[in-house]
A and B are shown apart, each in its own frame.
Chain A
């Protein structure tokens, strides 16, 4: 009986995937060309120094030391929500850059294709990290796990799925700067500030 349920679930999943692919093929051709103008205004700035401080074990220890347990739990929830917002922005920026890299992959210039490939790879790593971290954070917030134990420790979120989040996001910024190097200096500056 259980095997039959799993078989039907697999069949349904397969059919839904087929429908999704059909929809992609139907709606995305010809593909919209995303250029630099479609990137910079759509990016959300990510404060890396704030993320660093949220993930810093020393800061967390200081909070734990100075605050009473209920105050610490409240502060920790705020810090979790803040980091959730930062990872949401990281994921959003990565999506915007993936779309740009997709369009750049159709370029005739092999150098631009190479840079777009690197950008895409870094963006996907950021997406994986953000996805795993957001699942974890949402679970922590939903289950109010801080009530049961002294955990969760935000510093543990520095790495998810063997991907160091902040390091990878910095690598994404570097890859974006390389991919957009042809932009005028003021626009390149705007890009680096927006990331």
Chain B
């Protein structure tokens, strides 16, 4: 079990290297920050794991960081995918609506199955974590529905990011729900399943980022049509009218 905990960390280091190689920090800065933060957080937790007090503080601080970055990454994904679709006013409301739905569901879950935290801050971080999981599932499932309905190209980086988060968050939500049903008897399975799901998510990201993405914004000089092409294009337009 102890060794199993290092698998996601190793995969995250590989992912971070790949992200640097693909210069993802320029196109998806929040996701790059998330991966870098995850590597740093794992390292920090490892360094303090034999000091309970420091580990407790580090754990909750890094969990808050994960929540915040996880939500920012989803905003980045939606902006990357929907930004190219339409500049309609309602498109800007999608993310706030998804975030609101996530927070409301998280609070409702907390109300239905109250947690045993005495510290208010830890409780807030946990609520934020479950809200982030809901947001990630909604964004991922929403994008998959868009792929089907609108015929979007799904083999692109933002879809890969959403797919990884979507898989992990779906499993995490399922486990969280079952944990509240079964209590601590479920803890070992929760840990193993969670680690496996997160490792799979990182593998999905590695798979998506392993293929370089084509540039879609060529320079103006390259996009100029030749005179022959231009004449043909004008003829085609004339015939259409």
Asked if A124 meets B151 with Cβ closer than 8 Å, knowing A17-B166, A162-B86, A163-B88, the reply is: yes
Measured between beta carbons, the chain A residues less than 8 angstroms from B169 are 14
At the interface, yes or no: A87 with Cβ under 8 Å from chain B? no
Contact B85 A181 (CB under 8 A): no
Closest to B110 in A: A3
The minimal Cβ–Cβ distance linking B11 to chain A, given in whole angstroms, is: 18
Contact A173 B240 (CB under 8 A): yes
**Interface flags, B216-235, vs A, CB<8A=1, else 0:** 11110011110001001101
At the interface, yes or no: A123 with Cβ under 8 Å from chain B? yes
Contact B214 A7 (CB under 8 A): no
**Cβ-neighbour of B144 out of A3, A10, A21, A178 (below 8 A):** A21
At the interface, yes or no: A98 with Cβ under 8 Å from chain B? yes
Number of interface residues of B (CB under 8 A): 54
Asked if A124 meets B236 with Cβ closer than 8 Å, knowing A6-B105, A10-B138, A111-B218, the reply is: no
- In whole angstroms, what is the CA distance A82 to B219 when docked? 43
Contact A13 B153 (CB under 8 A): no
- In whole angstroms, what is the CA distance A13 to B112 when docked? 21
Most buried by B among A111, A123, A163, A174: A111
Interface residues of A in 113-155 (CB under 8 A from B): 113-115, 117, 120-121, 123-125, 127-128, 131
Contact B173 A10 (CB under 8 A): yes
The minimal Cβ–Cβ distance linking B154 to chain A, given in whole angstroms, is: 6
The minimal Cβ–Cβ distance linking B93 to chain A, given in whole angstroms, is: 12
Contact B141 A17 (CB under 8 A): yes
Measured between beta carbons, the chain A residues less than 8 angstroms from B148 are 20
**Interface flags, B149-179, vs A, CB<8A=1, else 0:** 1111111000000010011011001100100
**Cβ-neighbour of B232 out of A94, A113, A181 (below 8 A):** A181
Contact A3 B112 (CB under 8 A): yes
Interface residues of B in 55-104 (CB under 8 A from A): 84-90
Contact A105 B216 (CB under 8 A): yes
Measured between beta carbons, the chain B residues less than 8 angstroms from A180 are 236
Contact B151 A192 (CB under 8 A): no
Asked if A20 meets B170 with Cβ closer than 8 Å, knowing A124-B152, A189-B239, the reply is: no
At the interface, yes or no: A188 with Cβ under 8 Å from chain B? yes
Contact A3 B111 (CB under 8 A): yes
**Cβ-neighbour of B85 out of A11, A110, A121 (below 8 A):** A121
Interface residues of A in 1-54 (CB under 8 A from B): 1-4, 6-8, 10-11, 13-18, 20-21, 24, 31
Other A-B pairs beyond A111-B218, A188-B235, 19, CB < 8 Å: A4-B112, A10-B105, A13-B141, A14-B170, A17-B144, A20-B144, A98-B151, A98-B153, A99-B151, A117-B216, A121-B85, A124-B150, A124-B152, A127-B150, A128-B85, A161-B90, A162-B87, A177-B240, A188-B236
Give the 10 A-B residue pairs with the shortest CB-CB distance, closest first: A14-B170, A3-B108, A162-B88, A110-B218, A17-B144, A98-B151, A177-B236, A114-B218, A14-B137, A17-B141
Q: Which residues of B contact A (CB under 8 A)?
A: 84-90, 105, 108-109, 111-112, 134, 137-138, 140-141, 144-145, 147-155, 163, 166-167, 169-170, 173-174, 177, 214-219, 222-225, 229, 232-233, 235-237, 239-240
24 CB < 8 A contacts A-B:
A1-B112, A3-B109, A3-B112, A11-B174, A14-B166, A16-B141, A17-B141, A20-B148, A94-B151, A98-B150, A105-B214, A113-B214, A113-B218, A114-B216, A120-B153, A124-B152, A127-B149, A128-B86, A128-B150, A131-B150, A162-B90, A163-B88, A188-B236, A195-B240
